[in-house]
Structure 1
Amino acid sequence: METTIIVILCHYSNTSSPVLNVKNLASSLEYYINKLGFKKNWEWGNPPDFCSICRNKAEILLCEGGQGNPGTWLCIYMENVDGLYEEYKKSGAIVAQPPTDYPWNMREMLVKDLDGHCLRMGHRIPETDETA
């Protein structure tokens, strides 16, 4: 079962595409595709040093040795973080923290990529007396 990923959209646009700086585009592409379930939209350069990947409506741009900064954090919202966690355990993704409930009414997990970028992935949970 594929987990649906939802992105929060900007007021001025219907898309938001962060740029992540990577050391090796080919290795990063392989990780995002084979471990995280993204698909390649396009790549640019000869040899390629810039590309677009997506999973559902979540798009990320990867740039080798250029744009972006190390250690970037992204928040990606979805319907079921636990289903995605099970998928990522099987694929061998780098899960830095399993799904955890937080007082800000979110259930989130932290996933790292090969360059140390952190994908904070989660879904809303109902308010309780403690979080209201």
Structure 2
Amino acid sequence: MSKSFRCSAVYPTLAVPSVLDTCNWYVDLLGFSIRFVWGEPPTHGAILLDAACVHFWQGEPQLGANWLYFDVNDLDVVYDRAMANQVEITRAPEIYPWGMREFNAVDLNGYNIRFGQHMGSAD
């Protein structure tokens, strides 16, 4: 009989040239908060959007077809903030057949980020 285990969270971890600059970009432009930065200068850090957490480590970005997806309750608030802060938007908000309204952007390191809201879930 195999034993079961649980997982309380998963933390995507991305390589970035500057951990501090990246954390501050998400805080200043999109309203995230810093969970921690470690090292002097920082070589590891994490940001939060409510319970969602993304880690960054100092290294060469590994860009490609992957993206970070954030499920939010009010897409317009995030989109308006991104637009006001001149975040590069690669796809404007659009309603998709799977019941989500989503938009795409690119962060300061070239990583694709996507925000989505379940239709009918605004608070």
- 1:16 offset after TM fit, Å? 2.0
Distance 1:110 1:12 in 2: 32
* SS at structure 2 position matched to 1:86: helix
Unpaired stretches in structure 1, ≥5 consecutive residues: 1-10, 127-132
Distance 2:62 2:18 in 1: 14
Aligned to 2:49: 55
The reply to whether residue 116 of structure 1 matches residue 118 of structure 2 is no
TM-score by structure 2 length?
0.81
Distance 1:119 1:12, change over 3 A: farther
Q: RMSD over aligned Cα, in angstroms? A: 2.0
Q: Is the Cα–Cα contact under 8 Å of residues 25 and 48 in structure 1 kept in the other structure?
A: yes
Unpaired stretches in structure 2, ≥5 consecutive residues: none
Q: Is the Cα–Cα contact under 8 Å of residues 23 and 46 in structure 2 kept in the other structure?
A: no
Q: Residue type of the partner of 1:12?
A: R
Task: List 4+ stretches of structure 1 deviating above 3 A.
Answer: none
Out of 63, 70, 86, which is 2:63 matched to?
70
Aligned to 1:129: none
Higher relative contact order (CA 8 A, sep 6+): 1
Alignment of 1:63-102 (within 5 A): 63-65=57-59, 69-71=62-64, 72-102=66-96
* SS at structure 2 position matched to 1:31: helix
Q: Is the Cα–Cα contact under 8 Å of residues 69 and 113 in structure 2 kept in the other structure?
A: yes
Overall identity of the aligned pairs, in %: 27
Counting matched residue pairs gives 115
Q: Is the Cα–Cα contact under 8 Å of residues 21 and 70 in structure 1 kept in the other structure?
A: no
TM-score by structure 1 length?
0.76
